[in-house]
Copies of this chain bind each other. A is one copy, B any other.
Amino acid sequence: MHHFDADLPSEIDRVLRDFLHRAGEPIRRTEPTFGPAVDALSDFVLGGGKRLRPTFAWWGWRGAGGDPDSEEAEGVLRAVASLELIQACALVHDDVIDSSDSRRGSPTVHVAFAARHTQGRWLGSAESFGRAAAVLIGDLALAWADDMFAECGLPAPALLSARPAWRAMRTEVLAGQYLDVHTQATGDASAEAALRVDRLKTAAYTVQRPLHLGAALAGAEQPLVDALLEFGGDIGVAFQLRDDLLGVFGDPSVTGKPAGDDLREGKRTLLLALGLAYAEQQGRDGERKVIADAVGDSRLTDAEVDDVRQALVDVGAVAEVERRIEEMTAGALASLQRAALAEPAAQRLAELADRATRRTS
């Protein structure tokens, strides 16, 4: 197997490390005070993440005929790795928006910079300083994503044909984040709203557009792109539904997150929307109340989390979400066959689909 295929995450890390070093060098010289901000972004990007988006993009390229032994392969690695910088912007800004304290087991960027302020006994509000730094560091990630993509070294026609995917991806993730915040604010607890967020934030941004981007870089024709978009739409939503189930039912020792944390944070998922709707339809007022009261209750006990689990099982919401995951995974695999991708991409995407929708963490 080609070593790019075999060890994709390390190759992604390599080109990211390289880019971050080259991008940071001139501004560190011009303005050393900005160094800690550049460090924070580098540490964030290199410090974790499953490299999911670059992986889908890479297999989109390979599936459309991209050759890992070609001259372009290194440029493609850089182009797909730049998706991690978009993701860094999304997460750093998301943490500001949600006032989250920790991410990947470390303090979030705004919390870390607030701590610098406190330690330095600086003037004004530490919280405001931390937020300002995180807004600017997220902006830097987004600007650098574009730099890394545009300067990846691929020929201009390849880059130009990937622009529609690149353009759609960034607008769609922002629309998804806005929709998410808006849905929480309006208290829209419908299954339809939850699915719309899933389609934009997870399916489009995490799977469809990366696949689209990769395939476009290889000069794929529209029918292939369409089949990949269908595959990605189904897999992306299935992935999110699995995530929702794990957020309530996951084993903390495997997921690394406290049991029921999604409930405490008030995340509006399809699982909860179905739970509420089914309880209502079945006239089970007790279950409806257990679920409704739990969402967003930051002091929810483990026993109460257990009650919510039971209610979600009893009204049939869990079974329905599992059924949809099955159905969408099957649909996705059918689209994948229709796409008639070059191997080993077809097999690797099928494996990714399987892992994403059956995972336990």
Binding site for B on A (CB under 8 A): 23, 26-27, 30-31, 33-34, 37, 89, 93, 96-97, 99, 117, 120, 122-124, 128-129, 131-133, 135-136, 138-140, 142-144, 146-147, 150-151, 156, 160, 163, 167-168, 170-172, 174-179, 181-182, 184-187, 196, 200
Contacts and interface: CB of A to CB of B under 8 A. Distances in A.
B147 A167 contact: yes
Contact of A133 (B33, B124, B178): B178
Given A136-B177, A139-B139, A27 B171 contact: yes
Nearest to A168: B26
Contact of A181 (B133, B143, B160): B133
Contacts of A186: 120, 122-123
A123 B168 CA distance: 30
B30 A175 contact: yes
Nearest to A151: B163
Given A34-B179, A93-B135, A133-B181, A143 B99 contact: no
Contact of A131 (B33, B97, B200): B97
A305 to B, nearest CB: 22
Contacts of A185: 117, 120, 122-124, 129
Copies of this chain present in the complex amount to: 2
Contacts of A132: 97, 178, 181
A172 B26 CA distance: 10
A136 B200 CA distance: 15
Contacts of A179: 31, 33-34
A216 to B, nearest CB: 14
SS of A interface (majority):
helix
Contacts of A200: 30-31
Nearest first, the 8 closest Cβ-Cβ pairs linking A and B are A156-B156, A143-B170, A122-B185, A34-B175, A97-B132, A146-B146, A132-B181, A31-B175
Given A129-B185, A185-B123, A30 B135 contact: no
B175 A123 contact: no
Interface-central residue, A30, A117, A160, A184, by most chain B CB under 10 Å? A30
Contacts of A187: 122-123
A143 B131 contact: no
B174 A143 contact: yes
Contacts of A99: 128
Contact of A30 (B27, B34, B136, B172): B172
A33 B156 contact: no
A34 B136 contact: no
28 contacts: A27-B175, A30-B200, A31-B175, A31-B176, A33-B175, A33-B178, A33-B182, A93-B136, A93-B139, A96-B131, A96-B135, A120-B185, A132-B178, A135-B135, A135-B138, A136-B174, A136-B177, A136-B178, A139-B139, A139-B174, A143-B170, A144-B171, A147-B163, A147-B167, A147-B170, A150-B150, A151-B167, A156-B160
Contact of A139 (B26, B142, B150, B182): B142
Given A27-B175, A34-B175, A171-B23, A97 B142 contact: no
Contacts of A140: 171, 174
A185 B123 CA distance: 5
Contacts of A146: 143, 146, 150
